[in-house]
Chains A and B, each alone.
Chain A
Amino acid sequence: AQSVTQLDSQVPVFEEAPVELRCNYSSSVSVYLFWYVQYPNQGLQLLLKYLSGSTLVKGINGFEAEFNKSQTSFHLRKPSVHISDTAEYFCAVFTGGGNKLTFGTGTQLKVEL
């Protein structure tokens, strides 16, 4: 069975500082990996995805993530955050056999002045 672990439930950071949100997954087969963002009082929207190819993927709003197969990780990074990045971020994994996405428990990013 596949699972996703987001170790940090909350990450406070000052504006213009870099941030990394951690995601680890477990799966014995090939995976597709995703990061979704949920702004306050809204549904989730796709931030970026890894399906194949280059292990460094770029998403919207200046975010990027790196797929590391040996460490089974897919950490999300941004070199300089903005107040508007305050949101909850969800990592998700899909394996073809499961036919559905499994989400992590989410990381609340709070950007402060």
Chain B
Amino acid sequence: DADVTQTPRNRITKTGKRIMLECSQTKGHDRMYWYRQDPGLGLRLIYYSFDVKDINKGEISDGYSVSRQAQAKFSLSLESAIPNQTALYFCATSHPTRSPNVLTFGAGSRLTVL
């Protein structure tokens, strides 16, 4: 099994629908992140969490929310999806002291909003 698992891997939805992307990890890492990848823009940070009670906005958090249900689980929600949220979404984890800021990425969730 992958260290960082994202579900679903692909999703097509319509404008206005609520969408949840889920991430679970077996690395035992405290820190978890959600990034969005768009062609020509690289990866941009949406939200990050350093432990279960800690949630922080990244550079592009508008239109998104997150929930850290447990150390191993971090979900990203789009309350009302819009077409410009069509992108590839990555979850990542890191350990705060071992190899600081080396991220382990999931395989990605491709979201298309029609």
Residues of A near any B CB (own CB < 8 A): 6, 9, 32, 34, 36, 41-46, 49, 51, 90, 94, 100-101, 103-106
- In the complex, chain A residues whose CB is within 8 Å of the CB of B35: 103
- In the complex, chain A residues whose CB is within 8 Å of the CB of B106: 43
Selected contact of B48 from candidates A41, A43, A100, A104, CB within 8 Å = A100
Which residue from chain B places its CB closest to the CB of A94 in the assembled complex? B101
Residues of B near any A CB (own CB < 8 A): 4, 33, 35, 40-45, 48, 58, 90, 92, 99-103, 105-108
Which residue from chain A places its CB closest to the CB of B102 in the assembled complex? A46
Q: Are A105 and B40 within 8 A (Cβ)?
A: yes
In the complex, what distance in Å separates the CA atom of A22 from the CA atom of B44? 20
Selected contact of A90 from candidates B42, B48, B92, CB within 8 Å = B42
10 tightest CB-CB pairs across the interface, nearest first? Answer: A43-B105, A105-B42, A103-B43, A103-B42, A44-B105, A94-B101, A43-B107, A106-B42, A43-B106, A43-B108
Secondary structure call for the A interface:
strand
- In the complex, chain A residues whose CB is within 8 Å of the CB of B42: 6, 90, 103-106
Q: Are B107 and A9 within 8 A (Cβ)?
A: no
In the complex, what distance in Å separates the CA atom of A105 from the CA atom of B43? 7
Q: Are A101 and B105 within 8 A (Cβ)?
A: no
- In the complex, chain B residues whose CB is within 8 Å of the CB of A36: 103, 105
A39 to chain B minimum Cβ distance, whole angstroms, is 11
- In the complex, chain A residues whose CB is within 8 Å of the CB of B58: 100
Which of B101, B102, B107 counts the most A-chain CB atoms under 10 A from its CB? B101
In the complex, what distance in Å separates the CA atom of A6 from the CA atom of B58? 21
A90 to chain B minimum Cβ distance, whole angstroms, is 6
Q: Are A100 and B45 within 8 A (Cβ)?
A: yes
- In the complex, chain B residues whose CB is within 8 Å of the CB of A49: 99, 102
Q: Are A32 and B41 within 8 A (Cβ)?
A: no
